[in-house]
Structure 1
């Protein structure tokens, strides 16, 4: 496979950001999306990043980061909420497939965050398993509000940071790989209107949160 076997976490992060900048500027190159790449990746996959994002239909990872087949190992749930299947999938991408970077990707106008805020305000929980999603987002909303943050963007950033820390807290495999400098976990917030992603959390990567991306 190309790229992935030799990339560091920092190089993988920069590769993602370069692709996102191309997407924002409408100069996408659509790499690794041809028949040759399809044939190359058929025997095995070696993605350079695990991307754990929200299931929102406007958050298609390979499009917004201008990547192609075999580049990203994508795991998605509504509100990027974490459960055993999610942790197992991320651990598989990071340890078995040896992807050096794990990305938590949140976005503005997130329905799961809006629903959690609504439940706290009116006390009416949604039906079915949607309630489970909302309950898993609620701690982030409460933490943001306890710090005096009430805007959706502020709650989103708190939820992304909370998810990054939760992954490292619950996954010993991931925490050990970060501690051994074999992987990094970062949190990005995506803006639907302009297509840009900005950094809000970094573990195992020497980049301050809030740095230009």
Structure 2
């Protein structure tokens, strides 16, 4: 019995060196090893601390719930000052001229100079038309200059210098400021179903020309216009819509009849004819004939392509 006893003593002696090897690899693990599991460390199936070393750091890394500082750092709501500092300047004018926000918070006020130099007035009709054409090219190419930022609205709030009045359709797919890439204060916009003209439209054009001194009047139609299509359908069936919608049909009908209901492309051609007819009608706005004759105002007709975004001038 005494013979086997010394034999088992050397078998236990390799185990003590196993404990030092763990601290050698990772000093931080030393406290975790005795606390976690001396029993697993004595398992003969795991060689020394080689398998324990990887496990210990993992255990240490996970409980190293310095994740909680990370969480604390994020909520260290300096996020809110960051948000305030950037949008705060532009947002203030929209919220109120006195610098008070919607919730009553006081924000820095935006000055007109914050969005760049003040716009200059375009006085020549050819220059105004060139600006609209250039803006449409920027829009189509995906490189617009004006994103309708609130700071631009603040810049224009002190006064306006529009260079064109654009008469267009109410179609929601034809936002005039966007397709011409124009900023606040640069164009006056008048919209009605099928760009139909009534006294309110005529008066608005007259005001833009006489009071705001715009050098360009543009009438913009668009392909697949619902008002023109409804007029073609009403004339073919002999069923005129009731009420005020019938007024739109009555105003567009002359252009449709001029093309002819038998024409296979009557809707597209009638739309262009309706644009040309509207241009002629706007020439009779009070004061406009004299300005056109003097070369200080020009009237142009154009068509917007819903599919491509291009605006084509009518000759």
- What's the TM-score bracket when you normalise by the shorter of the two chains? 0.7 to 0.9
* Pair member with larger Rg: 2
Which residue number corresponds to residue 86 of structure 1? Answer: 201
Does structure 2 retain, via aligned residues, the 8 Å contact 1:149–1:155? no
Determine the C-alpha separation between the residues in 1 that align with 2:130 and 2:155: 23
Q: Which has the higher helix share?
A: 2
TM-superposed deviation, 1:7? 3.2
TM-score (norm 1): 0.87
Determine the C-alpha separation between the residues in 2 that align with 1:193 and 1:148: 23
TM-superposed deviation, 1:147? 11
Determine the C-alpha separation between the residues in 1 that align with 2:142 and 2:198: 35
TM-superposed deviation, 1:108? 0.6
Which residue number corresponds to residue 182 of structure 2? Answer: 67
Q: Indicate the SS of the match to 1:193.
A: coil
| 189, 192, 197: which one aligns with 2:311 | 197
Determine the C-alpha separation between the residues in 2 that align with 1:35 and 1:56: 25
Q: Indicate the SS of the match to 1:187.
A: strand
The RMSD of aligned alpha carbons is 1.8
Q: Are residues 112 and 35 of structure 1, via their aligned partners in 2, closer, same or farther at CA, if it must alter by over 3 Å?
A: closer
Does structure 2 retain, via aligned residues, the 8 Å contact 1:20–1:66? yes
TM-superposed deviation, 1:172? 3.1
Runs of 4 or more, structure 1, over 6 Å off, are: 146-149
Determine the C-alpha separation between the residues in 2 that align with 1:38 and 1:19: 18
Number of aligned residue pairs: give it. Answer: 198
Determine the C-alpha separation between the residues in 2 that align with 1:42 and 1:13: 24
Which residue number corresponds to residue 38 of structure 1? Answer: 153
Most deviating of 37-46 and 64-73: 37-46
Does structure 2 retain, via aligned residues, the 8 Å contact 1:104–1:163? yes
Most deviating of 125-134 and 105-114: 125-134
Does structure 2 retain, via aligned residues, the 8 Å contact 1:9–1:183? yes
Q: Indicate the SS of the match to 2:260.
A: helix
Q: Indicate the SS of the match to 1:59.
A: coil
Which residue number corresponds to residue 11 of structure 1? Answer: 127
Q: Are residues 149 and 71 of structure 1, via their aligned partners in 2, closer, same or farther at CA, if it must alter by over 3 Å?
A: farther
Which residue number corresponds to residue 141 of structure 2? Answer: 25
Does structure 2 retain, via aligned residues, the 8 Å contact 1:144–1:150? no
Determine the C-alpha separation between the residues in 2 that align with 1:17 and 1:149: 31
Most deviating of 150-159 and 43-52: 150-159
Name structure 2 gaps, 5 residues minimum: 1-117
Most deviating of 123-132 and 188-197: 123-132
Q: Indicate the SS of the match to 1:172.
A: coil
Correspondence 1:186 to 2:300:
yes
TM-superposed deviation, 1:104? 0.2
Determine the C-alpha separation between the residues in 2 that align with 1:79 and 1:109: 11
Does structure 1 retain, via aligned residues, the 8 Å contact 2:255–2:270? yes
